[in-house]
Every structure is written in structure tokens, then in C-alpha cells.
Amino acid sequence: MSWSFWLLDLLFRKLFRQNAQVKWAVHHTATIHHPQGLKIGIGTFPGDSPGVYINANNGIYIGDFTNLGPNVGIVSSNHGFSDNTEIVASGPIHIGKCCWLGMGAVVLPGVQLGDFTIVGAGAVVTKSFESGYCVIAGNPARIIRTLSKEECDEGARIRYAAQAGLA
């Protein structure tokens, strides 16, 4: 990330208090509601892409080395049908390690995505894909390709080794 990213982060989070409770650098156009309900793994920085919207009201976990593209939306709660000020409880969202959410993808309340799930640009994820190792796309999202578990796990081993300074 460039120095201008860090400068804008400082300006918007510290001076203007936008996303002030977020503990990591975020793009100045990102919005993270209820960051205390957002748990992240190592090498994961949700909100560093422009236009990301995250509402962690009912809890969100995003695993190690997971990337969110621009304009991704992750919404862990909904509002009542007759009263839009009412927050409807739902299960938390869980996104596994080494996932990638493409530009404009939306993940809705209660969804569980397994490790190595790639969400195609513009996909709307309304149900869980807990076994992971797949590419999902569409509205509603569906599996369009499965990934090699061995290749994915080897890639993860290399990333963890690099993180630990062993590579």
C-alpha cells in the first residue's frame, strides 16, 4: 500500500473519526459497522479496498489471508419487514482462510464459507458453502468449479511459512 493510503487512513480515522473504532488501516471509502463484532485472522485486512461495506452486528469471522475486493458487502444482520429500525438476529458469518471475494460480491447473514472459497465478482451469497475449495458465482451463488485441495493447501503452507519468516 502506498503512503497516500496510510495518510488518508490517518486523516479519516483519527481526525474525521470515520471508522474510528477499527484497529487496522481501512480505505477512506470503506464502512465498517460494529467492528467489535468482526474477528479477523492473520494477513487479513477487511476494508482496505475501496467501497467495502461490513456490518458485523451479529458477528463476522474472516480467516487468515482472506482478501476482499472493491465494493464487497458483508452483512451479518437484517432489519424487520414492517419496521426497518428493528434488527433481526441471525447466525454469524464465517469466512474461512485463503478466501477471495471478488468485486461487488455480497455475503448475507448466517453464511458459512469454507477455506479456499473464491466468490466471483457480483455474486450474491445467500447460502453456505462450508466445504470450501471451490469457486462460486451468480445470484444466488452456486459452485461453478472445484479446486484442488492439495494445491490450495500447499499454497497456504507457503503463505504461513512466509508470514513466519521461514521462506
Q: From its phi and psi, is residue 105 left (phi > 0), alpha (psi between -120 and 50) or beta?
A: beta
Q: From its phi and psi, is residue 112 left (phi > 0), alpha (psi between -120 and 50) or beta?
A: beta
Q: Domain count of the chain?
A: 1
pTM above 0.85, yes or no: yes
Q: Determine the pLDDT at residue 167.
A: 58
Domain extent at residue 149? 3-163
What does the block give as the cell for 1? 500500500
Q: Determine the pLDDT at residue 1.
A: 65
What CATH number is given to the structural domain containing 111? 2.160.10.10
Cα–Cα distance for residue pair 28/5, rounded to 1 Å: 8
CA-CA-CA-CA torsion sign (35, 36, 40, 45): positive
What does the block give as the cell for 10? 490517518
Q: Are 119 and 125 in contact (CB under 8 A)?
A: yes
What does the block give as the cell for 77? 444482520
Residues 6+ apart with CB under 8 A from 112: 93, 94, 128, 129, 130
Q: What is the pLDDT along the chain (167 residues), one digit of tens a residue?
A: 677 877 787 777 677 677 778 888 889 899 999 999 999 999 999 999 999 999 999 999 999 999 999 999 999 998 888 888 888 888 999 999 999 999 999 999 999 999 999 999 999 999 999 999 999 999 999 999 999 999 999 999 999 999 888 75
What does the block give as the cell for 139? 445470484
Q: Determine the pLDDT at residue 89.
A: 81
Q: Determine the pLDDT at residue 9.
A: 73
